[in-house]
């Protein structure tokens, strides 16, 4: 029988929620990256890794890059969880461009990529994350209105709020890909 595992890294719980929904749909175990020993990757046929997006990078993606020798003959799935709406092809293209800087061509070809939308609760952000978002806002406010991307406008319009776009239905394509 195909053995599947889900591993995730989540700072504010959005990726964790998706990881748990996917685990429920696939009836497979789910681990936080920090509690998962990479040598145990060898036990599984399908590895699903999920991480939140921070300044373009995927949290904990080194689990994949640093352990590729254990993964290259397996089915590997990566899901990202960000604020940007994955239904917008422009956002997907940005995420994939950033991923291609950390994943080799082989990894990009082999890994099944999925993008899910999380959220943000400004009142829960760490000091550093608050400062980063405040800097980003200041930078965006200096830009000419016509140069703003859709996601920039979303950040400006909703700055300081509590947003939650997590949607259980959106895991369906990933679950079907693995089954
Ligand atoms: C400092 C900071 C930077 C972020 N950068 C991005 C980004 O580049 N792209 C994006 O889509 N979302 C970005 N986000 C939003 C997070 O990806 C979003 O909050 C996600 O749901 C977090 O998932 P987690 O709680 O599982 O870590 C950022 C959030 C913070 C606080």
The CATH number for 173's domain is 3.40.50.360
141 domain residue, yes or no: no
Q: Which atom of ligand 1 lies at the shortest distance from residue 16's CA?
A: 26
**Confidence label for 24 from pLDDT (cuts 50, 70 and 90):** very high
- Look at residue 35 and tell me whether its pLDDT is greater than 80: yes
131 domain residue, yes or no: no
**Confidence label for 2 from pLDDT (cuts 50, 70 and 90):** confident
155 domain residue, yes or no: no
Count of domains for the chain: 1
54 domain residue, yes or no: yes
Q: Which atom of ligand 1 lies at the shortest distance from residue 84's CA?
A: 11
Q: What's the pLDDT tens digit per position in 87-119?
A: 999 999 999 999 999 999 999 999 999 999 999
This prediction has a pTM of 0.97
111 domain residue, yes or no: yes
153 domain residue, yes or no: no
39 domain residue, yes or no: yes
84 Cα: distance to centroid of ligand 1 (angstroms):
8
Give the range of the structural domain holding residue 78, as residue numbers without chain letter. Answer: 4-120+164-178
Q: In whole angstroms, what is the distance from residue 176 CA to residue 178 CA?
A: 5
Asked whether the beta carbons of 1 and 179 are under 8 A apart, the reply is no
State whether the beta carbon of 137 lies less than 6 angstroms from ligand 1: no
Q: What's the pLDDT tens digit per position in 46-82?
A: 999 999 999 999 999 999 999 999 999 999 999 999 9
135 domain residue, yes or no: no
42 Cα: distance to centroid of ligand 1 (angstroms):
30
Between 150 and 25, residue with greater pLDDT: 25
State whether the beta carbon of 90 lies less than 6 angstroms from ligand 1: no
The secondary structure of the chain as a DSSP string is: ---EEEEEE-SSSHHHHHHHHHHHHHT--EEEGGGS-GGGGGG-SEEEEEEEEETTEETTTHHHHTTHHHHTTSEEEEEEEESS-TTSHHHHHHHHHHHHHHS-HHHHHHSEEEEEE-EEEGGG--HHHHHHHHHHHHHHHHS-GGG--HHHHHHHHHTTSEEE---GGGGHHHHHHH-
């Amino acid at each position: 029988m195909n053995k599947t595992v889900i591993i995730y890294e989540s700072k504010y719980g959005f990726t964790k929620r998706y990881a748990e929904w996917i685990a429920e749909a696939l009836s497979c175990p789910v681990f936080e990256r920090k509690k998962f020993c990479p040598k145990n990757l060898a036990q599984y046929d399908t590895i699903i890794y999920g991480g939140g997006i921070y300044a373009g990078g995927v949290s904990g993606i080194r689990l994949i890059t640093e352990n590729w020798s254990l993964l290259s003959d397996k089915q590997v799935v990566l899901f990202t969880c960000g604020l940007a709406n994955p239904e917008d092809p422009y956002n997907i293209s940005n995420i994939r461009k950033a991923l291609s800087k950390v994943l080799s061509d082989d990894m990009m070809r082999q890994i099944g990529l999925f993008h899910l939308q999380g959220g943000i609760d400004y009142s829960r952000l760490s000091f550093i994350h608050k400062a980063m978002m405040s800097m980003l806002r200041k930078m965006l406010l200096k830009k000419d209105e016509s140069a703003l991307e859709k996601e920039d406008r979303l950040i400006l319009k909703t700055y300081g709020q509590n947003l939650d776009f997590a949607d259980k239905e959106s895991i369906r394509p990933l679950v079907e890909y693995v089954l």
